[in-house]
Amino acid sequence: MVQDWSSRISIGRGRPLPFGVSEWGTGANFAVYAKESEHMTLVLYPSSTRNRRLEVDVSDASQKGSKASIEVGKRRLELKLDKKLNRTGRIWHVLVSPYMEGFEYMWKVGRDEDINPKWGTNLALDPYAMVLRTPMGPKSFNQHNPETFRPHAVIPRRKFLEFDWKEIPAPKIPMKELVIYEMHVRGFTMNRASHVKAPGTFLGVVEKIPYLRDLGVNCVEFLPIFEFNEAEWSKKNPVTGAKLAQSWGYSTLHFMSPMNRYALEAGELTAADEFRIMVRELHRAGIEVWLDVVFNHTAEFGDSGLPPGYFGMKALGLDTYYMRTPDGKYRDYSGCGNTLNANNTVVAEFIHNCIRYWVHEMGVDGFRFDLAAALTRDPDGRPMESPPLIERLSKDPTLRDTKLVAEAWDCAGLYLVGSFPHYGVWGEWNGKYRDSIRSFVRGNPGSKGEFAGRICGSADLYSKGRKPYH
């Protein structure tokens, strides 16, 4: 049961690691990276708006005797952190007791009077939040107003990461034996012809496992399943007038939480549970689970400002998270207005932690990295021979059984098919194979020779100690 604002809350110094929300004793530790050095506020949102007063104690001995109170009817409690006590390096942290399962929270970065007019807000999502409050369930898909889309982070239930995998092992199928089925979670079962009880959801995929087995599939690669705003653009079909949706999910707004509209139950904590059920049952059937991940950009736009929804990376560390020119313009190697600064130490650690989370807590077997060439660029956009992010993912001993596959190009002309820095670990989506097959099928003159070379494994690309099934 979710606690309400009548509880007595204690505030302590907290600790800088781990990032996000973690259980610590009877309370919750909050930790977030931010370049802001003076003013940082943790904003808690109640589960009930009954007009009660809340006593707030500061339990840290150095702040003994300090108290604050608020009217609960204001619908939020703001905890302004002390830079001397609640900041270690560039990590802000605070311990809040008791552990308020189900409460929502945001970070307020800086002072209200200093808000960037292009952004219109200084509220930021915690990049490490494992649960978001957004519209829930498949019937909510594309039903919200994009102008009022306001995701909040949620304090997860205790022992959130515990899950009954029923001791079902991951299939660990050799790369050369994989038969990969690329799939969109909603699109796969949303049509009535699928004949499932849970259309458009993770559990709907579970119902279709016999169909996948009949096809001979032993690996499913899901188009992006991280939280995104499918109503990001308010456009209509010019012929029918129907409201259009950005349904593929390549405009990621959060990398640690699965899409709530892909969960069957309309509850705050179900998307991760249902995703893990799906993974477990696919594994039971001998089918690996891969994710198409988009770490080359975010949904926060570029020079045009912020989309509705204050997602937060711009506020937490604009020049940390994004590549920018000396005059402040966003470098756009993704074709989407911004490019994540993937080889910045903080960002590389974040992406690495995301991959670890989806492998070790959510059971994922492999990843296809969208526009992965962008992840090889330095903060000034120059290609790197040994990109720190790619190297750390390649050399992580806990990821040695995890398949890593690069879409080895980006939208600014960096084409690394056959030359992606693979460290003996990474595979590539062979774009030249795709292009050659298309050319041959169209009957283009002179396409036979290259077609034969691609069918035989592209020795011109992968002859130096690599295999064609890489």
CB half-sphere exposure, 468, CA atoms < 13 A: 10
Indicate whether 103 and 209 sit together in one domain. Answer: no
The pLDDT, as a whole number, for residue 1 is 34
Helical H segments across 361-414, by residue range: 388-395
Check which CATH number belongs to the domain holding 313 and give it: 3.20.20.80
Mean pLDDT for 141-146 is: 84
pLDDT at 262: 96
- Mean of per-residue pLDDT scores for the chain: 90
Residues 214 and 308 in one domain: yes
Is residue 61 in a domain?
yes
Considering only residues 174 and 304, tell me which one the structure prediction assigns the higher pLDDT.
174
Write the pLDDT tens digit of every residue in 394-410.
Answer: 999 999 999 999 999 99
CATH number of the domain residue 84 falls in: 2.60.40.10
Residues 354 and 219 in one domain: yes
Start-to-end C-alpha separation, the chain: 49
Res. 432: pLDDT tops 80? yes
Task: Select the more confidently predicted residue: 397 or 264.
Answer: 397
Residue 148 CB partners (closer than 8 Å, separation 6+): 308
The pLDDT of residue 236:
87
- Give Cα separations from 213 to 219, 220, 280, 283 (angstroms): 10, 11, 15, 12
Residue 18 predicted with pLDDT over 60: yes
Token pair of 95 as six digits: 């311990």
Residue 355 has pLDDT above 50, yes or no: yes
The answer to whether position 141 is within a domain reads no
| 290 and 424, same domain (yes or no) | yes
Q: Is residue 11 pLDDT above 90, yes or no?
A: yes
* Domain assignment of residue 85, yes or no: yes
Of the residues 104, 365, 407, 428, only one is catalytic, namely 407
pLDDT at 440 over 80: yes
Active site residue 370: yes
The answer to whether residue 42 is domain-embedded is yes
Residue 167 inside a domain? The answer is no
Same domain, 107 and 214: no
Last residue of a domain, one of 90, 114, 138: 114
Lowest mean pLDDT among 119-128, 143-152, 153-162, 380-389: 143-152
What are the structure tokens assigned to 51, written together?
Answer: 């007009």
Q: How confident is the model at residue 470 (pLDDT cuts 50, 70, 90)?
A: low
Catalytic residue among 232, 370, 410, 450: 370
pLDDT band per the 50, 70, 90 thresholds, residue 62: very low
Number of domains in the chain: 2
Is 129 within the bounds of a domain?
A: no
Query: 79, 114, 149 — which closes off a domain?
Result: 114
- H helices of 94-208, in order, are 185-189, 202-207
**99 and 197 share one domain:** no
Is 245 inside a domain boundary?
yes
Amino acid 466: pLDDT: 80
Assess if residue 136 is contained within a domain: no
pLDDT at 146: 75
126 catalytic residue (yes or no): no
**At which of 114, 130, 154 does a domain end?**
114
User: Which domain covers residue 394, as residue numbers?
Assistant: 175-429
Same domain, 303 and 394: yes
Asked if the model's pLDDT at residue 118 lies above 80, the reply is no
Helix axes 448-455, 431-442, angle to 10 degrees: 140
The tens digit of pLDDT for each residue in 100-115 reads 999 999 999 998 888 8
- Is residue 369 within 8 A of residue 425, CB to CB? The reply is no
